[in-house]
Amino acid sequence: MKKDKEFMDNNKNKNKPKIMTKYDQFVIPRLKDIPVWVREGVTDEEIAKRLNIHVWTLGDYRRKHPKFAEALTRPTKWETHVYPRLAEIQEWFQEGVNADEIIKKLDIGHTTWYEYIDKHPMLAELVKWSRSVIISRVENSLLKAAMGYDFEELKTIVEEDKNGKKRTRIEKVKRHQPPNPTAMIFYLKNRAPNEWNDRREIIVDTKAAELERKQLFLDMIEADVIEIEYEAIEESSHTEEGFEESDT
């Protein structure tokens, strides 16, 4: 008799209609739409309206239903603001743009930027490598200034003859930039600090020694002066009424 009663109760439960909740009615049919809305930037309040539920109910469903919570997961700024622009970040660093300006360009906060550097090795390596490139360029420029270098200048000179016709003359001027003593000192102090860092020495005749060092320094500068060489290339052209014509 007991078994028959249990069997009858089970049949009653099976035949009893299931009560549909708002989650069953409004959320489950739209689970595939929700991630699309999230990617489009739709707020939780607007999503709740589209689902015909209250925003508080949306929060309750998020806690109770993992699939719903997963559908509502929003992409981080790493995915939307930083990762797609890694190539630009590299270019900005190589152009000498500082981190504060890059953070503004990416529209993220300083804390978020440094958090992403800690979390994402690819960003950390990119920042490290890009900065090393800038440092290397500056070092090369400093060494160039310390050693001196040759360069060329082009000057275009327009001359007018007695008939009023104009003639163009292009001068290629070879110049030499002598070594920069300040750059020399800075480079040596940083590259060979043990030998070139300032030392405190006891000198009996300080004034005489200082004058001697100054004179030696002036002699070194005068010895580095190199005369400028000029190489002129003439190109003839004719103009009328003040307009210049090329030879092409």
107-142: per-residue pLDDT in tens?
999 999 999 999 999 999 888 887 777 676 777 777
Predicted structure pTM score: 0.43
Q: Which residue is listed with tokens 């580095």?
A: 224
> Contacts from 81-84 at CB under 8 Å and sequence distance 24+?
81/106, 81/107, 81/108, 82/106, 82/108, 82/116, 82/123
In this prediction, residue 238 carries a pLDDT of 40
Check residue 21 and give its pLDDT: 86
Among the listed residues 118, 140, 136, 126, the one whose alpha carbon sits nearest the alpha carbon of residue 93? 126
Report pLDDT digits (tens) over 138-193: 777 777 787 887 878 888 888 887 777 888 888 888 888 888 887 777 777 777 77
pLDDT band (50, 70, 90) for residue 210 = low
| Backbone angles phi and psi of 198, in degrees to 5 | -60, 135
